[in-house]
């Protein structure tokens, strides 16, 4: 297949909105917009973010978009369009490409994201780089990291530590490789593995939370590290309680000790959960609204004036989260 056939194969799974410029132009053409826009870019790279022993190709396509959706969600924006730059190793087949595409297309459709452009090149290593845009609903403000004030409550959107535990599960399973496709894991750990391989970005949660929150962030590098960024940008501290951290029952079963549970929940990367701070005057309404739309909101602590992040009263540095280098 040449480049154009490869692009066509990749695009098959997507339902494409016609662009005013028509497909195949040098760039996609978008109409003017009354909305504030948000833009983010993130990549998943073979051997760094996934291996083909532990991920299906559809998972890789899904995750490449999911990590970007989580960033847009953390801004309280509605995802709109994406472009996708693929680096494909020699021997990456037509069938492989369609499998990769199917995972991304399904998630794009679920969130109303239009794929408006892309690029395909060969490389030694499979990677998928997505740039995703979103729009801030009219009359609302984007969530940023700098608005947390002492006394505001800290909430997260879902269970913590699942994805990093899922990686442990997959690493262990890898030692007994099955003959075909990605490794099989014990059903007990399926929820952990799912969080690692196929995370569900909390887009609806972010849109609702932005109406109440003073600050928001995406917990992708570990809770302590990411909340550390909010503390720094807002010039505040936080006091968190381990007893309040939401975790899956599977995580409790997987971990040998409470310490191990807390390590995952506090420093495990790739959860793609959102964390926000909410003024106490709006906390009740916030919780009611999230509950009304079928979403959970888990209070885990409070913003403090002293610029330290403490867990059960003990100071934590931002270190210990996921380090990219």
**What is the DSSP annotation of 290-302?**
HHHTT---EEEEE
Which are the contacts of 254, defined by CB distance < 8 A and separation ≥ 6? 165, 168, 169, 189, 192
Distance of CA 315 to the CA centre of its chain: 27
Question: What is the footprint of a copy of itself within residues 70-89 (CB under 8 A)?
Answer: 70-72, 74-75, 77, 81, 83-85, 87
Binding mask 110-149 for a copy of itself (x = CB under 8 A): ------xxxxxxxxxx-x-x-x--x-x-----x-xxx---
Q: Is 275 helix (H, G, I), strand (E, B) or coil?
A: strand
Contact call for residue 273 and a copy of itself (CB under 8 A): no
Least spacing, CB of residue 9 vs a copy of itself, in Å: 11
Q: Residue 270, interface with a copy of itself (CB under 8 A)? A: no
Answer left, alpha or beta for residue 181, where phi above 0 means left and psi between -120 and 50 means alpha: left
Q: Which residues pair with 276 in a beta bridge?
A: 155, 216
- Judged by beta carbon, residue 81 or residue 286, the one nearer a copy of itself is 81
Distance CA 279, CA 148 (A): 8
Q: Counting contacts by CB under 8 A, is residue 317 touching a copy of itself?
A: no
* Residue from 18, 26, 139, 259 in contact with a copy of itself (CB under 8 A): 26
**Stretch of 42-50, 179-187, 236-244, 292-300 lying at the interface with a copy of itself (CB under 8 A):** 42-50
* SS3 labels along 62-86: HHHHHHHHHHHHHCCCEEEEEEEEE
* List 12, 15, 16, 29, residue binding a copy of itself (CB under 8 A): 29
CB atoms within 10 A of CB 119: 12
Cβ proximity to a copy of itself, 34 vs 180, nearer residue: 34
* Cβ nearer to a copy of itself, comparing 81 with 205: 81
Q: At 281, is the secondary structure helix, strand, or coil? A: helix
- 20 part of the interface to a copy of itself, by CB under 8 A: yes
Write out the residues near a copy of itself by the rule CB under 8 A: 1-3, 6, 20-22, 24-43, 45, 47-49, 70-72, 74-75, 77, 81, 83-85, 87, 116-125, 127, 129, 131, 134, 136, 142, 144-146, 216-218, 229, 233, 323-325
């Amino acid at each position: 297949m040449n480049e154009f056939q490869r692009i066509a194969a990749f695009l098959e799974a997507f339902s494409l909105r016609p662009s005013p410029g028509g497909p195949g132009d040098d760039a996609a053409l978008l109409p003017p917009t009354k909305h504030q826009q948000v833009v983010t870019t993130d990549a998943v790279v073979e051997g760094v973010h996934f291996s083909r022993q532990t991920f299906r190709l559809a998972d890789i396509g899904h995750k490449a978009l999911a990590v970007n959706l989580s960033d847009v969600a953390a801004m309280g924006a509605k995802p709109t369009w994406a472009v996708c730059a693929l680096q494909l190793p020699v021997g990456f087949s037509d069938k492989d490409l369609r499998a990769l595409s199917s995972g991304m297309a399904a998630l794009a459709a679920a969130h109303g994201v239009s794929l408006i452009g892309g690029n395909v090149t060969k490389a030694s290593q499979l990677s998928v780089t997505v740039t995703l845009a979103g729009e801030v609903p009219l009359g609302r403000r984007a969530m940023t990291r700098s608005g947390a004030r002492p006394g505001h409550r800290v909430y997260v959107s879902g269970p913590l530590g699942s994805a990093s535990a899922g990686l442990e599960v997959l690493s262990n399973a890898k030692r007994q490789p099955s003959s075909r496709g990605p490794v099989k894991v014990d059903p007990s750990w399926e929820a952990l593995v799912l969080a690692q391989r196929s995370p569900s970005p909390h887009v609806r949660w972010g849109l609702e939370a932005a109406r109440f929150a003073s600050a928001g962030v995406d917990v992708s590098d570990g809770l302590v590290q990411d909340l550390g960024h909010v503390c720094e940008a807002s010039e505040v501290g936080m006091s968190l309680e381990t007893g309040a951290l939401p975790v899956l029952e599977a995580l409790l079963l997987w971990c040998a000790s409470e310490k191990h549970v807390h390590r995952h929940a506090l420093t495990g990367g790739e959860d793609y959960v959102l964390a926000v701070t909410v003024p106490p005057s709006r906390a009740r309404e916030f919780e009611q609204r999230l509950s009304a739309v079928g979403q959970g909101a888990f209070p885990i602590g409070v913003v403090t004036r002293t610029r330290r992040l403490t867990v059960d009263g003990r100071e934590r540095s931002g270190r210990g989260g996921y380090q990219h280098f």
